[in-house]
Amino acid sequence: MKIAGIVVVTVLLGVLGFKLWPTATETQTAQIAPPDGPAIVLIRGDNSPSCQVIHRLVEQAEQRYEGKIEVIQTDWSPDNPLIEHYQIRFLPAVVFIDSKGNELGKIIGESPVVQEQLAQALAQAEQLLLK
């Protein structure tokens, strides 16, 4: 009986400690600041096949514009400051930031039409963001 009580208390402390201790993602997202210069910000949605297409498009742009345009990829979390800063309500969201740090626009969603719009915008990102 005494051992069962110790096990219950240990499990409860473990669960409470797990819930109260910030995860690595929460700690990392709390440190993310909006970019100052040209940037593409992806706030990821779930890992569905259509969201994965969005992720791949942004990853390709990251390789293409390396050293010219900052690419930030982050997950949704309640303490992510970019969610509130860019007023993100739906995911995935891709935000385009010009060389002065101003938001030029957003592409939100994951449908095939949105994927095509994003591909076109990413192909023109250098002309749009580096003015």
Per residue in 30-73, pLDDT tens?
567 888 889 999 999 788 888 899 999 999 999 999 999 999 99
Q: What is the pLDDT of residue 2?
A: 56
Q: Extract the tokens encoding 63.
A: 């390789």
Q: Is the pLDDT of residue 7 over 90?
A: no
Domain limits, CATH 3.40.30.10, in the chain? 32-129
Other CB atoms within 10 A of residue 94 CB: 25
- What's the mean pLDDT in 109-129? 93
Report the C-alpha gap between 22 and 19 in whole angstroms: 8
Instruction: Identify the CATH homologous superfamily for domain 32-129.
Output: Glutaredoxin (3.40.30.10)
Which residues, in sequence order, are bridge partners of residue 43?
Answer: 74, 93
Give this prediction's pTM.
0.75
End-to-end CA distance of the chain: 72
What backbone torsions phi and psi does residue 8 show, to the nearest 5 degrees? -60, -45
Q: Decide: helix, strand or coil at residue 67.
A: coil
